[in-house]
Amino acid sequence: MIRVVLADDEDLIRGALAALLELEPDITVVAEVSDGDAAVEAVERLRPDLAVFDLEMPRRDGVAAAEAVGHRTPVVIVTRHARPGVLKRALAAGVRGFVPKTTPASRLATILRDVHAGGRYVDSEIAASALTEDACPLTARELELLRLTRRGGSIQDIARSVHLAPGTVRNYLSSAMAKLDTSSRHDAARRAWDEGWI
């Protein structure tokens, strides 16, 4: 049996996916959770053979949860919004599969079996988009600060969390705004998210 931890913040989607996977003779869902922190905790506690994470979840997105899990458990990301930049982040985090939510359940089961056997799977449309995507113009520090901005912190909160002066944080964010031609740090964070850079 392939033991799976399933994480998705949409109850209906998570329940339907779990029910469909349970119909497979060799797959069993050992836990269903609704956020990224709970996903990491369930993987650490249950040590499943595979983890299937939604990309967009509260507390920690699927890629951040995969980074926290590390290489101990193979992770497959399923997503409704398959942005090419996110694929690059996911692969860098060690994710073994990247699948759109439009994938039929029987196909997903096959992908899970392949990943469990040591393979990788990346949807061909997402892979093609990633190959033609523009390079990210932002530095690693600018991306980090935009990621924190997207989580809703004030400049002072962000500065404390990264051990920088508030003025330094403002300078980095202003630089990111100029590179992305946006009028606010929140617009810059939204643009970076839409591109899949954070």
pLDDT tens figures, 128-157: 776 666 678 899 899 999 999 988 889 999
- Banded pLDDT at 187 (limits 50, 70, 90): very high
Q: Which long-range contacts (CB under 8 A, 24 or more apart) does 181-186 make?
A: 185/146, 185/149, 186/149, 186/150
3-state secondary structure 117-157: CCCCEECHHHHHHHHHCCCCCCCHHHHHHHHHHHCCCCHHH
Q: How far apart are CA 70 and CA 107, in angstroms?
A: 25
- Residues 17-61: tens digit of each pLDDT: 999 999 999 999 999 999 999 999 999 999 999 999 999 898 888
- Identify the pLDDT of residue 134: 66
Whether the predicted pLDDT of 124 surpasses 90: no
pTM for the model stands at 0.72
Q: How far apart are CA 57 and CA 59, in angstroms?
A: 7
- Banded pLDDT at 105 (limits 50, 70, 90): confident
